[in-house]
Amino acid sequence: MREITSKDNSLIKYTARLQSSAKLRREDKRFVSEGLRVSLEALNGGVEVETLFVTDEALSKHGTELKPLIDASREVYRIPQKLMGCICDTKSPQGVVCVLKALDNNIDFGTINNKYILLESIQDPSNLGTILRTADALGVSGVIMTDDCCDIYSPKVCRGAMGALFRVPFIHIPDAPSFIEEFNKTGNSFAAVVRNASQLTDADFSGSCLIAVGNEGNGLKDTTVSACKYKVTIPMNGNAESLNAAIASGILMWEMMK
């Protein structure tokens, strides 16, 4: 196991840049996991581990749990705790950081009776992380994201998703309407809107289906709503203008899956 002690080391600098630059993550198809638990979940999810950084403290405290990560990583480096601060997004880094290969887009559209959520232009990493976690918990078949959603590999999404990132199949698409038109040939699509739609409780989610949820502030684009076979709305008795996008998605997925 080699050791890095300088913050000017090129691998440390590269990892720090991966954490801060969505562009670099996209170009290099790499991202970073922080902490033992998420890193193990990545490994168990079949993600390729390129580099493992670990502190002596973590090694002595979690030696047994770290074993499979150490064995699987192409390169392992011991680094001092102070260097952890350079490559971690969290304030209290836990002493375990991995550089991972991005997952391939991996939804299998071949089977019947699949249930998908399609996210258009979701901008808040906490929302995306929470939606992934909910999709995982409820057993949604896959998450479809337009390219202009916030980066699924950002540190905030990875944390919020609590490992769901490595378990829920997902793909990116350039454009929702054309994807939905293709999907309509074999399944039913539902646009989540805030008014002028049939109530969610009346929707028939049998067979393969997809619910499309739009941007936090603006909702779905008109062309995306038009492309969907049906519109659904969450009936609200109260005063709020709308539900938080993650909560709305949670209720929609719950109704689709139950």
**Shortest gap between Cβ of 249 and a second copy (angstroms)?**
9
Determine, following the binding rule CB under 8 A, whether residue 246 of this chain makes contact with a second copy: yes
Q: Which of residues 165-204 bind a second copy (CB under 8 A)?
A: 167-168, 201
**Shortest gap between Cβ of 190 and a second copy (angstroms)?**
16
**Whole-number Å distance between alpha carbons of 29 and 106:** 15
Determine, following the binding rule CB under 8 A, whether residue 238 of this chain makes contact with a second copy: yes
Q: Which of residues 101-130 bind a second copy (CB under 8 A)?
A: 126, 130
**Whole-number Å distance between alpha carbons of 254 and 258:** 6
Which residue of 10, 60, 196, 239 would you call a contact of a second copy, by CB under 8 A?
239
Number of residues that bind a second copy (CB under 8 A): 34
Alpha helices in the chain (DSSP H): 10-20, 22-28, 36-44, 56-72, 81-87, 125-138, 155-161, 176-183, 222-227, 245-257
Nearer to a second copy, 139 or 207 (CB): 139
Nearer to a second copy, 34 or 136 (CB): 136
Six-digit token string for 158: 């990875």
Determine, following the binding rule CB under 8 A, whether residue 235 of this chain makes contact with a second copy: yes
SS3 for 21-41 is: CHHHHHHHCEEEEECHHHHHH
Q: Choose the binding region for a second copy from 6-14, 91-99, 202-210, 241-249 (rule: CB under 8 A).
A: 241-249
Torsion of the alpha carbons at 55, 59, 65 and 69, rounded to the nearest 10: 60
Residue 188 dihedral angles phi and psi, to the nearest 5°: -110, 135
Q: Which of residues 129-148 bind a second copy (CB under 8 A)?
A: 130, 133-140
**Whole-number Å distance between alpha carbons of 189 and 187:** 7
Sheet holding 230-233, edge to edge: 170-173, 142-146, 115-119, 209-213, 188-192, 230-233, 198-199
Q: Choose the binding region for a second copy from 9-17, 54-62, 93-101, 240-248 (rule: CB under 8 A).
A: 240-248
Determine, following the binding rule CB under 8 A, whether residue 244 of this chain makes contact with a second copy: yes
**Shortest gap between Cβ of 126 and a second copy (angstroms)?**
7
Residue 147 dihedral angles phi and psi, to the nearest 5°: -60, -20
Q: Which parts of this chain interact with a second copy (CB under 8 A)?
A: 126, 130, 133-140, 162-164, 167-168, 201, 234-244, 246-247, 250-251, 254, 257-258
